[in-house]
Amino acid sequence: MITFDDISMTYKVAERKQGLGASIRSVFKRDFTYVEALKNVSFNIDDGEIIGYIGPNGAGKSTTIKILSGILVPTSGDCSVFDKRPWENRIKHVSKIGVVFGQRSQLMWDIPAIDSFELLRDIYKVPEDTYRKNLEEIVEIFSLSDFIKMPIRQLSLGQRMRCEIAASLLHSPKIIFLDEPTIGLDAVSKVAVRNFIKRINKENGVTVMLTTHDMGDIDALTDRVMLIGKGKLLYNGSFTQMKSKYDGKSILTIDYDGFAIPNISGTTVTSREDGRLVLSVDTSETTVSHVISELTSCVTVFNIGVESRPIEEIIADVYEDYSL
């Protein structure tokens, strides 16, 4: 469905030096610099996939989304969505896709969200019965009824983002590009968004490309991730394999009765209180089961909790490994 073939994107950026004299000179002669946002990036996305597209700020994620949605034309390379170049027939192209930019709004600032929804219905020429069905479902899932008749400028960031996501889904798109879709959302709203994405993916076969810094979204939704940094695609594969490669530690919390806690190779005591021990286990040196076996042979264990490293720490190690 989506093919990104050796795409490069270079921006021409005007330089402005400090000082009044430099400002006056720039009126007659401007200096430019060239920024390579994407460098020979290639990937494919099949129908019905949910892809996580991750990377630090300035890596090229939003540029990729803009090319796929037809907003930008790449400097070189080729791209196809539904077997067509996105920028060649944008009106037809956008009727099949939904796009959410967390830092941009597609809703009218001074009118209620419901009026913007009605306008989008007319723009996309959505049949009335389809529109009403989609609207009722989205309003219920995202709990929009309390503020859907309020002007967008009066909404909180979280409320606005829920309306933005709703607006991108009203015309039943086959592909959704989500660029930081859960920014500003509380925990309940994030869960609602994630569940809805899973639902439309499973029931309607909607393809989703998700860019976010919230690794909870990536962990909850995606099987495959693509890591981009400094304009280059660095990793394209299983998110589980990426985590297992960099997740070299587990945290054990043990409630016990006894005194003789053994020194176990590959472990570090994080904290120790009366009846409770917290160990950091280096899984490259030993296994969690071996540590548990050693502990239970020396003390009476009442309860054991096993936790992996936070996903944010794992991704930070990935970025560091690639020097991003």
Q: Could you tell me which residues are beta bridge partners of residue 273?
A: 276
Same structural domain, 143 and 111: yes
Same structural domain, 207 and 152: yes
303 occurs within a structural domain: yes
Q: On the CB side of 87, how many CA atoms lie within 13 Å of its CA?
A: 12
Residue numbers of the domain that contains 157: 45-243
Q: What is the largest CA-CA distance in the chain?
A: 82
322 occurs within a structural domain: no
* pLDDT given for residue 217 in this prediction: 87
Quote the strand ranges of the chain, DSSP E: 2-15, 31-45, 50-54, 76-81, 97-101, 175-179, 207-211, 224-229, 232-238, 249-257, 267-273, 276-282, 300-308
Regarding beta strands 249-257 and 232-238, do their DSSP bridges make them parallel or antiparallel, or are they unpaired? unpaired
Q: In the chain, how many domains are there? A: 2
Same structural domain, 88 and 207: yes
Same structural domain, 162 and 92: yes
Report the CATH number at residue 196.
Answer: 3.40.50.300
* pLDDT given for residue 51 in this prediction: 95
Nearest by Cα to 295 from 316, 315, 267, 323: 267
- Determine phi and psi for 65, rounding to 5 degrees: -60, -40
CA dist., res. 81 & res. 3, Å (int): 7
* pLDDT given for residue 143 in this prediction: 87
* pLDDT given for residue 101 in this prediction: 82
* pLDDT given for residue 144 in this prediction: 92
Residues of the chain with pLDDT under 70: 22, 103, 324
Q: Which residue has the tokens 């030096």?
A: 17
CA dist., res. 82 & res. 60, Å (int): 23
* pLDDT given for residue 280 in this prediction: 84
pTM: 0.79
* pLDDT given for residue 291 in this prediction: 86
7 occurs within a structural domain: no
